Chain A
Amino acid sequence: MSKDIRLKKGLNINLEGEADKVYASIPQSQYFSIKPTDFHALTPKMVVKEGDKVKAGSCLFFDKYNEFIRFSSPVSGEVTEIVRGAKRRIMEIRIAADSEVSYKSFSLDANATREQVIKGLLDSGVWPFIRQKPFDTIANPSDNPKAIFISTFDTAPLAPDNDFVLHGLDKEFQVGIDVIKKLTDGKVHLNVDGNTNPSKVFTDCKGVEINKISGPHPAGNVGVQVHHIDPINKGDVVWYLYPQDILTIARLFTDGKYDVSRMVALTGSQVERPRYYRTISGASISNMISENSIKDGINRFISGNVLTGTQISADGCIGFYDSQITVIAEGNEQEFLGWIAPGLQKFSMSKSYFSWLTPSKKYNLNTNYNGEERAYVVTGQYEKVLPMDIYPMQLIKACMIEDVDAMEQLGIYEVSCEDLALCEFVCTSKMEVQNIIREGLDLVKKECS
């Protein structure tokens, strides 16, 4: 039975710089990069070296602990640099793109068996788009997940609108879904936004459970949806994908290509004309930035949204899973007696600044901490923004003291960093909640394996 879930808890942060629903075309980026750091807990083993020629779909590196999981080049060109960080950790593989992309060809049959499908996804390098809960790592191909979840909407601040991005791609989407369906004996849950009229691409989709979820952010997060539809306990595994990645899978099966082109929304208060661009995963954002114009000042470029994204440089590259670039101002300025001011421009979930008088106002927020880190004092804040039957503060404290038993009891398997990103945002004591949860998850994973 499909479900209709209405969530009350959560918080929508109204920011300036939502992308207009228009596409702008830009010339293809000159260089690309694949960042092994986008894949949590991955130890890469290189296949190529600097100077090698690659095609779109050629393997660049694989997972040291599971050699079947491969990572492919998004374009054809030459590997120019393998950037290493501390302890020689591989940070980035840079590729100078050819002017015309040539694809490695894969021959896959849409009527293949589960094993053939998995092999095809692994060989082509598409597999890493499939991730699992708990732990948010790349799915293990030898698992049989109890369900697969696809959230068709993103409620994060300024997030791209999938109804717009996938408009008219009904056929392709259905092809992708049919492939995905083979991966599980359980259900494929396609969760649509109950706040709006979701696109026909999703509502007319066959062979899936269509669930309606409504409510403020984080209603669009897969973790929250799993919690309400088919919760995971210790030992359970569910897989999840993003809607645009389903198209990538579809293209692999229809055209035999590793084609990771996608729509990316350029958003944020520092962008003059926020809008959508058609580009390729891993592309440098410099083209986008120069085509548009970015407001003066010291800016922060984020691959992803403001709550969970990764900071990149002005000529950095789009992250593997991201379809949004956000540009906001750095807030490295002191403010005179800011904590006493009426604060009409300040956004707060609490009503302690007078900005609550203008609830529909859009805000221009910068990266200032707005205070200093403190011990926990205020309680009950996190509960307002986490629509799960979980005690977030107690869970975070269990993570801090590394008590694995308590973490398990309090529901660590059900949460991801992104689900608690709002807790971090609203925290009066300015705790680094996502980092604490990530370390807790890593500890549990280590103890369990």
Chain B
Amino acid sequence: MKLFKNLLNVVKPHFENGGKLEKLYPAYDAFETFLFVPNHTTNKGSHIRDAIDLKRTMFMVIVALIPCMLFGMWNVGYQYHLAIGESVSIFENFIFGFWKFLPLIIISYVVGLAVEFAFAIYRGHSVNEGYLVTGLLIPLTMPIDVPLWMLAVSVIFAVVIGKEVFGGTGMNILNPALTARAFLFFAHPIYMSGDKVWVHDAMVDGHSGSTILGELAASSNWQSLSFNPFDMMMGTIPGSVGETSFIAIMLGAVILIATGIGSWRIILSTFIGGFAMASLFNFWGANELMTTPAEIHLIIGSFAFGAVFMATDPVTGSQTNKGKYIYGFLIGVFAILIRVFNPAYPEGMMLAILLMNIFAPLVDHYVIQGNIKRRLKRANA
């Protein structure tokens, strides 16, 4: 600790006003504040401040993502060894997946943070913490075999077009992690959908690894699926790295809700919206996806992952408490709607959330107008 302090004290003068590297101060500042909570004290208003800051908030989201990440790593190994017909230990599966997934995390963080630092230096403001979470969310929503250069391009697109052009963390309209995924999905659909991408090496070996939604879209009855609801809960099914295990996602949800960082209103209403819409389709029952029971809909695909980690992004979601209920409910409704009616792509969560990101300000607008009208009425009464 002393060592770091001394080191920082040695290099600091170069970055301060008049120093050789004055322009790079935001980069220095990012490292210093990463290591040490700054010694700033209050000078206006409240003399004491809550211990929480944006770094802690983002850190808690990362903690909440850890169960999904660890399970995802194991599942990568498990699905691969299942496909090639080998049986190995839990530990070997995990190590296998760990080495496959690690490059994705590294590329995502290195490329994304490089862009963030570049913008911070260019604009002369401090580096925001938003990317700490986005950088982990992006690889978790990808198929394991996504080419690294594609991942890098999508990260750059997401950070520049999704976030920085609007002014950086807190100013963006669309969820940056989903922007990355949507970009790759439309630019390189072969790598992002179908039945050959969800298990490692499926494309090369030709062994099939279609997702549950893929099978359902291809008109197989949900009861004849190769997976039972227990597999779906546990997550021992093919899919994007982080999305498969309902249990791991719920662990994350518990952490987010208990710490007060994720909005329970959004999570709950998304599930209610999805359940309501799927139940409605159950009555209709025109295709296999429609007849799939509503509760199964909620635990397959990326529904749960999206509801817990993507829809709850406070920047792109609704900001009012009432708005959060409406916003979440509509995400659930649209996710199932797209899932059921879109023949080309059986997963609707990503598009539903991006769509509602756009409509969140409108939802808030009407909620706030309601408040204003109530206030005026009180004045006239």
Q: Chain A residues in contact with chain B, CB under 8 A?
A: 13, 157, 231, 233-234, 300, 302, 306-309, 311, 326, 328, 330-340, 343, 346-353, 355, 365-372, 374-380, 383, 389-391, 393-394, 409-411, 417, 421, 424-430, 432-435
Contacts and interface: CB of A to CB of B under 8 A. Distances in A.
B168 interface: yes
Given A336-B35, A372-B40, A379-B314, A13 B48 contact: yes
Interface string B120-161: 000000101110000000000000000000000000000000
A369 B41 contact: yes
B170 A233 contact: no
A188 to B, nearest CB: 22
Contact of B36 (A328, A331, A335, A424): A335
B51 A353 contact: yes
B94 to A, nearest CB: 24
B55 A369 contact: no
B366 interface: no
Interface stretch (B80-88, B244-252, B315-323): B315-323
Contacts of B54: 371-372, 374, 377-378, 428-429
Interface string B83-101: 0000000000000000000
B375 A434 contact: no
14 contacts: A308-B45, A328-B47, A334-B38, A335-B36, A351-B258, A352-B57, A372-B33, A375-B167, A378-B314, A380-B324, A394-B319, A428-B53, A429-B170, A435-B44
Interface in B215-232: none
Interface string B27-42: 0000001011111111
B314 A340 contact: no
A335 B46 CA distance: 21
B50 interface: yes
Contact of A371 (B47, B53, B263, B378): B53
Given A231-B378, A306-B46, A370 B37 contact: yes
Nearest to B257: A351
Given A233-B378, A352-B260, A380-B324, A425 B37 contact: no
Nearest to A424: B46
A311 to B, nearest CB: 7
B180 interface: no
A421 B258 CA distance: 25
Nearest to A336: B1
A367 B324 CA distance: 34
A200 B378 CA distance: 34
B324 A334 contact: no
A435 B51 contact: no
User: How would you classify the secondary structure of chain B's contact residues: helix, strand, loop or mixed?
Assistant: loop
Contacts of B378: 231, 233
A331 B39 contact: yes
Contacts of B368: 391, 394, 410
Contact of A307 (B41, B48, B169): B48
A368 B49 contact: yes
Nearest to B47: A306
A380 B37 contact: no
Interface of B: 1, 4-5, 33, 35-42, 44-57, 59-60, 126, 128-130, 167-171, 258-261, 263, 265, 314-315, 317, 319-321, 324, 368, 371-372, 374-375, 378-379
A233 B379 CA distance: 6
Contacts of B265: 380
B39 A334 contact: yes
Contact of B52 (A157, A371, A376, A391): A371
A367 B42 contact: yes
A37 B340 CA distance: 66
Contacts of A367: 41-42, 47-48
B51 A369 contact: no
B41 A332 contact: yes
A433 B260 CA distance: 21
Contacts of A365: 48
Given A334-B36, A352-B261, A383-B321, A434 B168 contact: no
B130 to A, nearest CB: 7
Given A378-B314, A428-B52, 5 more contacts: A336-B1, A337-B36, A370-B37, A380-B319, A424-B49
A391 B320 CA distance: 8
A426 B317 CA distance: 20
Contacts of B40: 332, 368-369, 372
B53 A339 contact: yes
B51 A348 contact: yes
A428 B1 contact: no
Nearest to A376: B170
Contact of B46 (A343, A355, A394, A421): A421
A38 to B, nearest CB: 16
Contact of B45 (A368, A410, A432): A432
A379 B263 CA distance: 9
Nearest to A337: B35
A108 B172 CA distance: 64
A391 B371 contact: yes
Nearest to A393: B319
B47 A430 contact: no
A421 B45 contact: yes
B197 to A, nearest CB: 33
A13 B315 CA distance: 28
